[in-house]
Amino acid sequence: TTTCKPISLSLPFKIIQNRIIFSPEASAASAQELDVQKVHWECCGQQFEKKMDIHKHAAKEHMPEVLQQTEAVLELLVQQNSKLTANHNFGENKSASLELSGTKEEFDVCAWLPDTSHVTFDELTCEAGEVLLYYCYCAIEEPRMICTWQTALCRQLHLTGKVRIGTEGINGTIGGCKTATELYIQAMISHPLFQNMSKEDFKRSAGGVNCFADLRVGVFKEIVPMGVDPEKVSYKDAGTHLTPEEFHMKVEALSQDLEIDKKTILLDCRNFYESKIGNFQHSLAPNIRKFSYFPDYVDRNLEFFRGKQILMYCTGGIRCERGSAYLRSKGVCKEVYQLKGGIHKYLEQFPSGFYKGKLFVFDDRYTIPASNGIISECSYCGTRWDQYRLCSTSYCCQLVLSCLRCREKGLVACCLICQEKGKSASESHSGAPVKEECDCTEKRMKIPVEHI
């Protein structure tokens, strides 16, 4: 009787499955004879007896996958070489260099890359797909290794987007085909560092690879830039998480009871341009431009928050983790709650709930649908409008709400001063960007003070 035992190859790419055939006669054969006579390869439903034949098949049918995996492994080797060179130049001890010079890092990275042998190149590179938004706070001892793995993983699956990694966890938003994003999710939740994650932790929206200009993966001190050392204000001290159902009930009670309204603050911890086009009714939306301004905003408004119950929300939940922890660290609030999964998860269950307008996202879409209502208006004429575009002046990164009629008139900058600067630069044909700060940014109050 002949039996067949599968053996998984430890190659960076798993295109071919190698099988060794065992039989009573083979048990007495030498290892060399077994290798020559009893080994064959199977791929795409075909069996190959010679190495030359399987190599030809792989080159003909799987070249895109081979090139993709090869590129990822070569990049890994280049990064390792750079680290070793840096260690040598700075005189680090031999043992530290040895930790990086072996194959452990390469194995750890490649071991967690998915098998894509059953997926065609076209299935991984179609334009239509989705965008994933996720985060996971957890202890990561070697964030650079995770950075290398994420880079290899995203390139293997032809994904674009942004991934931030630190010792406190990972935060990402990536776009690609649904086949690719499914493989990405599976790879994430299969990794031992992210074993507490589930498929429900990934927020999905219609989009794809074209929602981002490229892929950016990096290591940072904070996975969401609040500007406070994670060791001083930790996600572990965050507010109480409320499910979308629980949050909905509290917001509903808040809208019906004036007494509760006096004791509770529904706090939007996003930036002003996000809350401008969509927010929860009766919420407090601080007029801040960056999340890194949020700690100063809290510090300047401690009396306003004193003794209050706080219901905090943001896009996907990650800013609330650190934001609520910072607010709690001040010891002035009665209770601090946060919306688990953010607005994204709330809208999945309550598309016609208390959130009105669009949901701002940090990619080339700028917004995703939330409700039918438009709560914002054109900056120039006041017409209802919620479609952002970048300021037309090359040096300015502000977002502009300018309706079609105003855009046809050439009103495409964030303010009149910026409009004139852009016009002057265009007429001069110098091509040199104007470095002065935009007028509307310069005049904006950095840290607003709320009235008690």
Torsion on CA atoms 367, 372, 376, 380, rounded to nearest 10: 90
Main-chain phi, psi angles of 212, to 5 degrees: -130, 145
Catalytic choice (110, 211, 314, 418): 314
Q: Which residues pair with 287 in a beta bridge?
A: none
- Tokens representing 439 are 């007028």
Buried residues in 256-268 as b, exposed as e (16+ CB within 10 A): eeeeeeeebbbbb
DSSP labels, 56-78: HHHHHHSHHHHHHHHHHHHHHHH
Q: Is 177 a catalytic site residue?
A: no
Distance of CA 198 to the CA centre of its chain: 16
Q: Which of 353, 348, 391 is nearest to 368 (CA)?
A: 348
- Check if the beta carbon of residue 298 is closer than 8 Å to that of residue 326: yes
Q: CB–CB of 250/258 below 8 Å?
A: no
Closest CA to 25 of 3, 8, 49, 48: 3
The Cα–Cα gap between 146 and 169 comes to 10
Q: What is the DSSP string of 18-71?
A: EEEEE-TTGGGS-HHHHHHHSEEEEETTEEESSHHHHHHHHHHHSHHHHHHHHH
Q: Which residues are catalytic?
A: 314
